[in-house]
Amino acid sequence: MEKTPSYFITKEAPRRLFSMSRHTKLIVVVRDPVTRAVSDYTQTLTKSPGLPSFQSLAFRNGSSTIDTAWSAVRIGIYAKHLENWLRYFPLSRFLFVSGERLVMDPAGEMGRVQDFLGLKRVVTDKHFYFNQTKGFPCLKKPEGSSRPRCLGKSKGRPHPRIPAQVLRRLRDFYRPFNLKFYQMTGHDFGWD
């Protein structure tokens, strides 16, 4: 078991993983790429308060052209990254987990994960509660623990206000990539 968001977008990762184990099962958590880009920016802003505005980073040299060199934007072009992985692994080796559904129905998504891995369904609704402060589901207090398990301080932060026209332009940019991703995975994530 290994987890990192950077594997999916690292060009060399599929080849390296394939050379280690061609039978690996891959779970990829994806979310609306516009929301993901804003969240990425928010996390970076927390660490670097003097960061330029979201829109000045998202658009190349103040133009209306989206800057795909900016990692916050590039990561959300899921179809491009998946094409690289499909050169090594068949689609049947992948489970794509909806980040939005993971928040709305964590037990349902975890059920899909357990099924994909061939595990007995032991994680159910009874293991989660919704943390109003974070805005995310958390795991109830595990046996022998003094407190529940929740996402860390870097998760669930309020996002800065981004102008509607900037978000609209990003949605337009991602739309063809999202549609291709839906076709490739056989699943419409409903990001439009």
| pLDDT tens track, the chain, 192 positions | 667 778 899 999 999 999 999 999 999 999 999 999 999 999 888 888 889 999 999 998 878 899 999 999 999 999 999 999 999 999 999 999 999 999 899 999 999 999 999 999 999 999 898 888 777 888 887 666 667 777 666 666 778 899 999 999 999 999 999 999 999 999 999 998
pTM: 0.89
The amino acid sitting at 77 is I
For residue 91, what pLDDT is reported?
97
CA–CA gap between residue 154 and residue 73 (Å, rounded): 20
Nearest Cα to Cα of residue 76 among 188, 187, 183, 176: 176
Query: Please, what sign has the CA dihedral across residues 40, 38, 68, 104?
Result: positive
Nearest Cα to Cα of residue 191 among 64, 100, 109: 100
CA 190 to chain centre: 14
For residue 160, what pLDDT is reported?
85
Give Cβ neighbours of residue 94 (< 8 Å, ≥ 6 apart). Answer: 25, 26, 27, 28, 85, 185
What are the φ/ψ torsions at residue 23 (nearest 5 degrees)? -100, 10
For residue 46, what pLDDT is reported?
85
Averaged confidence pLDDT in the chain: 90
For residue 153, what pLDDT is reported?
65
